[in-house]
A and B are shown apart, each in its own frame.
Chain A
Amino acid sequence: MFDYATLRVIWWALLGTLLIGFAIMDGFDFGVAGLLKVLGRDNEERKVLLEGIEPTWEGNQVWFIVAGGATFAAWPMLYAVSFSGMYFAIALVLLALILRPVGFNFRGKIHDPRWASLWDWVLTGSGLAVMLVAGIAFGNLFLGLPFRFDDDLRMNWHGGFIDLLHPFALLCGLVSLGMLLAHGACFAALKADHAIAVRAVAIARWTTLVFAVLYVLAGVWLAYGIPGFAITGPVVTEGVSNPLYKQVVHGSSWFAGYMQYPWFWAAPLLALASAVGVQALVGRRSVTGFIASSLMVGSTIASAGFALFPFLLPSSLDPRSSLTVWDASSSRGTLQLMLLATLVLLPIVILYTSWVYRVMRGRVTLEQVRKAHGGY
């Protein structure tokens, strides 16, 4: 079908697509959860917010599961190194993801304000944790991570959780937080009772502004303060998936790709244009405002992915061990089969997901929530 190099690029793009799908679809669930205590002033208002995301959050979270599974299948080394290396960071995300399904289901099962409040905090905390940690982890990709392979390709990691908290990575965490809180607020503006939606609009404007400023700041820092990685010598795109066959230098620029392919600039420009779009639209046309925030999320992640290309996971300890698109993939047969599976199944997923959103459309009003005290 395709040659190995093309398949690898396609799978790099698909990995990006799944991550963006996760950030857009589950991102607003995290955002709404993170803003739960700010947007919802009492139990009923928080119920309105939660009922807005309740019918669909579970399907949204599968984007993450599938992104994880696809990484396992298409980029096994990336999956193995990142999950085991960032052990405690991943464990924190895992804890957040474990507590979400039970939080949504258990919250309404006992009628006691303390019980509801407990789960409100759990959902808020897990939302904030995932948004922050995801950004911090992404930021660390630009700094390089402290790992190396031995000749058996067994990975060894020299560092701990604290080492991930570099100021640049923390800034990336805040970019992620601002972006997804804005996205969540845009969803609340679209879905929640008007009384709450007004508040959501104001928060969406603020968080978008904060996001845009921090995003530009991170870009400038990346350009002038963070050395990039580059493959030296011939770049073998059709070779075997063994990172140790190449040479890498740490000290170039992360903007080299942007200079080589000027169309990459479309991504950061779109991210900023969408931020302006959110400012302009969220108060007046909530659907278009939400589309703008989705574009903002998608193009921000794409802009980071473009800068990293062809690197997936650079190693600061032993640059040669860095994982790139050209030497960390599965075999050609696996990439091919997984591409086929994705091309057939993902459109079907999008089809029934759209149907579900259509069935569950409409604002959740305070009146509805008051009326529906069925108790079970």
Chain B
Amino acid sequence: MILIDADVVTLSRLQFALTALYHFLFVPLTLGLVWMLAIMESVYVMTGREVWKRMVQFWGVLFGINFAMGVATGVTMEFQFGMNWAYYSHYVGDIFGAPLAIEGLMAFFLEATLIGVFFMGWERISRIKHLLVTWFLALATSLSALWILIANAWMQHPVGSEFNPATMRMEVTSFSEVFFNPVAQEKFVHTVSAGYVLGAMFVLSISAWYLLRGRNVDFARRSMTVAASFGLAAALSVVVLGDASGYTVSLNQKMKMAAIEAMWHTEPAPAAFTLFGIPDVEQRTTHFAVKIPWVMGLIGTRSLDETMPGIAELVDAAKGRIGNGIQAYDAMLMLRQDKDNVQAKATLATHDKDLGYALLLKKYVDDPRQATPADIQKAADSTIPNVPVLFWAFRIMVGCGFYFIALFAFSFWKASTRTLDSQRWYLRLALWSLPLPWIAIELGWIVAEYGRQPWAIEGVLPTALGVSSVSAGQVLASLGGFVFFYTALAIVDVFLMLKFVRKGPDGLGIWPPAIAAMPSGQH
């Protein structure tokens, strides 16, 4: 038995969270912006109007900068599972590795191969072919998200797999269950919609800035119109499908749901939704709660008579599962001595779904079979994620979502009535709303992933057990490297983005055509 260093766990988690949150600043923008490019280029090919091509080229410059950052920071994610989560990689690679590999083969290859032609192929292929390249680029980015979210959904809701004591890992029993995981589908639509909202907001806000300055007016108006319509559809979808996602979470991750709602105890159905309040972890209560009756029960169960379990009841249930898990753990050790032990096989088969709960004890005691009732209580309590963080992250995210619907609906109305630049307060509002989708998206990641703690794989593998046998010094060094290089890259990225936004289509000679110097070929 090799003891796990608590510092390694903390540092590895910190590094993963920082690099994932950083990567997730760029990916959603790529996801959304590429569809805006596809729409603009479609209009260009259909109408033949040059301005639409120039729009693709201008927004394409910003897209390119962001794309490079997304690719660069994405490599980290793939490396990190092996570098810092070696036991995780061994324990679940049989299932988790497949969607990642297929993502590379099916989506990332396509995306990365076409990006060069997108930028440098304008003069080399026909309009229709270039449009197809852009469409495939857009499809590939969303497809990439699909496979990554299939992998992630399995961490939230591990279906189609079972524990194999001979190989000490989870092995696949049904890939169709893994690929058609209901959590994956809802996560996919919710996440890509969030990306589309960000892409639309990016174009809307920057165009609003041009209108405020009276620069690139027709260019900006057209861009805003595309952004408003695309953004409205995306914002509606992100909220409606986010709600569907909430329903799935409440079915599969009851503890995460209870933590988001700071629902300390089971309430009579249908449960009330706490609009506001101050969750108190010590007292296990929520002060100053403002509740809306019935709403939570409706969202969570789609019924009026089903109850939703509270945190205290879920901790009790966890205690029961830990007890079963200890039996499974004992059977696993017996099978290691004698792989044909019939009785041990039967015990493991009955309780293997709870084996992960016994592993929670490893934090407190070397051998889970030696755990005292106090250890079991501690392990059961450790299944509660950070309630105040989840409570607030979720509410701010949802608040942003409703705001996006309102803003894009208003923008859509203004675009339809051709009054986009009639009111300066609206343009300022559109400009200053730019950071909000990023905030909502990062909070969404926190709700989904921080809310999954203490599990790496829900109910199967505690996060703390997933780490590599590396030293805290090694992780600290790599973490320091990431902080240094990522900060440097962030500065360059923001600098270049601002530089090209300030220059604008006019300053870059992209539009109007009178001063257009070079048609294309460069980016």
B-binding residues in A (CB < 8 A): 54-59, 61-62, 65-66, 68-74, 76-77, 79-84, 87-88, 90-91, 94-95, 97-102, 104-106, 108-110, 150-157, 240-242, 330-331, 333-334, 337-338, 341-342, 345-346, 349, 352-353, 356, 359-360, 372-376
Contacts and interface: CB of A to CB of B under 8 A. Distances in A.
A131 B94 CA distance: 30
A154 B117 contact: no
B121 interface: yes
Interface centre among A97, A105, A110, A352 (most CB of B within 10 A): A105
5 contacts: A83-B82, A84-B470, A87-B478, A101-B69, A376-B508
Given A155-B469, A376-B61, A102 B98 contact: no
Nearest to A369: B522
Nearest to B88: A80
Contacts of A150: 1-2
Contacts of B521: 372, 374
A62 B108 contact: yes
Given A359-B125, A360-B117, A374-B517, A109 B109 contact: no
A332 B514 CA distance: 64
A83 B79 contact: yes
A330 B117 CA distance: 37
A193 B517 CA distance: 25
Contacts of B493: 102
Contacts of A84: 82-84, 86, 468-470
Chain A contact residues, majority secondary structure: helix
A330 B94 contact: yes
Contact of A151 (B68, B79, B102, B336): B336
A69 B2 contact: no
Interface centre among B1, B87, B97 (most CB of A within 10 A): B97
Contacts of B104: 62, 65-66, 68-70
Contact of B105 (A57, A88, A345): A345
Given A66-B105, A70-B101, A374-B517, A54 B94 contact: no
Contacts of B81: 72, 79, 83
A342 B101 CA distance: 9
Interface residues of B, number: 84
A55 B116 contact: yes
Interface of B: 1-2, 61, 64-65, 67-69, 71-73, 75-76, 78-79, 81-84, 86-87, 89-90, 93-98, 100-106, 108-110, 112-117, 119-121, 124-125, 164, 166-169, 171-173, 175, 336, 468-470, 474, 477-478, 481, 485, 489, 492-493, 496, 499-500, 503, 508-510, 517-518, 520-523
A353 B116 CA distance: 11
A102 B492 contact: yes
Nearest to B333: A151
Given A84-B86, A87-B470, A338 B101 contact: yes
B169 to A, nearest CB: 7
Contact of A157 (B100, B105, B469): B469
Contacts of A152: 1, 168
Given A153-B90, A333-B175, A349 B109 contact: yes
B120 A62 contact: no
Contact of B90 (A74, A80, A341, A345): A80
A334 B90 contact: no
Given A81-B86, A98-B72, A99-B72, A59 B124 contact: no
A334 to B, nearest CB: 5
Contact of B509 (A82, A338, A375): A375
B167 A242 contact: yes
Contacts of A79: 81-82, 89, 93, 97
A74 B109 contact: no
Contacts of A151: 1, 336
Contact of B109 (A62, A71, A372, A374): A62
A360 B120 CA distance: 8
Contacts of B86: 80-81, 83-84, 155
B84 A356 contact: no
A95 B485 contact: yes
The 6 closest A-B pairs by CB, nearest first: A76-B93, A83-B82, A73-B97, A55-B116, A59-B113, A72-B97
A181 to B, nearest CB: 23
A91 B69 CA distance: 18
Contact of B167 (A58, A109, A240, A349): A240
B97 A74 contact: yes
Nearest to A98: B72
A115 to B, nearest CB: 10
A303 to B, nearest CB: 26
Given A55-B117, A58-B116, A330-B94, A68 B106 contact: no
Given A82-B82, A91-B481, A155-B86, A73 B100 contact: yes
A80 B478 CA distance: 17
Contacts of A154: 2, 87, 90, 469
A360 B124 contact: yes
Nearest to B478: A91
A102 to B, nearest CB: 5
B322 to A, nearest CB: 19
B83 A90 contact: yes
Contacts of A155: 86-87, 90, 468-469
Given A59-B112, A62-B109, A69 B97 contact: yes
B33 to A, nearest CB: 15
B82 A352 contact: no
A199 B485 CA distance: 35
A370 to B, nearest CB: 12
A13 to B, nearest CB: 16
Given A59-B113, A79-B89, A341 B469 contact: no
Contacts of A58: 71, 112-113, 115-116
Contacts of A80: 82, 86-87, 89-90, 93, 468
Contacts of B76: 94, 98
Contact of B469 (A91, A100, A108, A156): A156
A72 B121 contact: no
B83 A83 contact: yes
Nearest to B522: A374
Nearest to A75: B93
Contacts of B478: 87, 91
Contacts of B168: 152-153, 242
Contacts of A66: 101, 104-105, 108-109
Interface centre among B87, B169, B469 (most CB of A within 10 A): B469
Contact of A65 (B67, B108, B173): B108
Contact of A337 (B71, B98, B113, B164): B98
